[in-house]
Amino acid sequence: MLSDPIFIFGAFLCLLVLVILLFGIGSFAKGGEFNKRNANRIMRWRIGVQFVAVVTIVIFAWARAKA
Protein backbone atom coordinates (compact mmCIF):
# COMPACT_ATOMS: atom_id res chain seq x y z
CA MET A 1 0.00 0.00 0.00
CA LEU A 2 2.78 2.48 0.82
CA SER A 3 4.36 1.85 -2.57
CA ASP A 4 1.12 2.67 -4.43
CA PRO A 5 1.44 6.10 -6.10
CA ILE A 6 -2.30 6.78 -5.76
CA PHE A 7 -2.08 6.22 -2.00
CA ILE A 8 0.96 8.49 -1.70
CA PHE A 9 -0.75 11.20 -3.76
CA GLY A 10 -3.92 10.92 -1.65
CA ALA A 11 -1.94 11.12 1.59
CA PHE A 12 -0.07 14.16 0.28
CA LEU A 13 -3.35 15.83 -0.63
CA CYS A 14 -4.79 15.13 2.83
CA LEU A 15 -1.75 16.75 4.43
CA LEU A 16 -2.05 19.69 2.06
CA VAL A 17 -5.69 20.14 3.07
CA LEU A 18 -4.62 20.15 6.71
CA VAL A 19 -1.93 22.77 6.06
CA ILE A 20 -4.33 25.03 4.15
CA LEU A 21 -6.98 24.62 6.86
CA LEU A 22 -4.57 25.49 9.66
CA PHE A 23 -3.26 28.48 7.69
CA GLY A 24 -6.83 29.68 7.14
CA ILE A 25 -7.79 29.25 10.78
CA GLY A 26 -4.64 31.09 11.84
CA SER A 27 -5.48 33.88 9.43
CA PHE A 28 -9.02 34.13 10.82
CA ALA A 29 -7.71 34.25 14.38
CA LYS A 30 -5.20 36.95 13.60
CA GLY A 31 -7.67 39.04 11.60
CA GLY A 32 -6.51 42.23 9.97
CA GLU A 33 -6.16 43.32 6.38
CA PHE A 34 -4.62 40.06 5.14
CA ASN A 35 -7.61 38.12 6.43
CA LYS A 36 -10.07 40.53 4.82
CA ARG A 37 -8.38 40.21 1.44
CA ASN A 38 -7.65 36.47 1.44
CA ALA A 39 -10.01 34.57 3.76
CA ASN A 40 -12.42 33.43 1.06
CA ARG A 41 -9.61 32.60 -1.36
CA ILE A 42 -7.84 30.43 1.22
CA MET A 43 -10.99 28.48 2.01
CA ARG A 44 -11.80 28.07 -1.71
CA TRP A 45 -8.36 26.56 -2.18
CA ARG A 46 -9.04 24.20 0.73
CA ILE A 47 -12.34 23.08 -0.75
CA GLY A 48 -10.75 22.47 -4.15
CA VAL A 49 -7.85 20.47 -2.77
CA GLN A 50 -10.20 18.59 -0.46
CA PHE A 51 -12.38 17.63 -3.44
CA VAL A 52 -9.37 16.28 -5.34
CA ALA A 53 -8.27 14.39 -2.20
CA VAL A 54 -11.67 12.73 -1.79
CA VAL A 55 -11.79 11.77 -5.47
CA THR A 56 -8.27 10.32 -5.19
CA ILE A 57 -9.24 8.29 -2.10
CA VAL A 58 -12.33 6.95 -3.88
CA ILE A 59 -10.23 5.98 -6.92
CA PHE A 60 -7.72 4.27 -4.65
CA ALA A 61 -10.45 2.32 -2.82
CA TRP A 62 -12.09 1.33 -6.12
CA ALA A 63 -8.74 0.18 -7.57
CA ARG A 64 -7.93 -1.85 -4.43
CA ALA A 65 -11.38 -3.50 -4.52
CA LYS A 66 -10.79 -4.56 -8.14
CA ALA A 67 -7.40 -6.12 -7.35
13-25 per-position pLDDT tens digit: 999 999 999 999 9
Share of the chain above pLDDT 70, in %: 100
pLDDT (average), residues 21-46: 93
Whether the CA torsion 22, 24, 26, 29 is positive or negative: it is negative
Q: Name the nearest CA neighbour of 45 among 28, 21, 26, 27.
A: 21
Q: Which pTM does this prediction carry?
A: 0.87
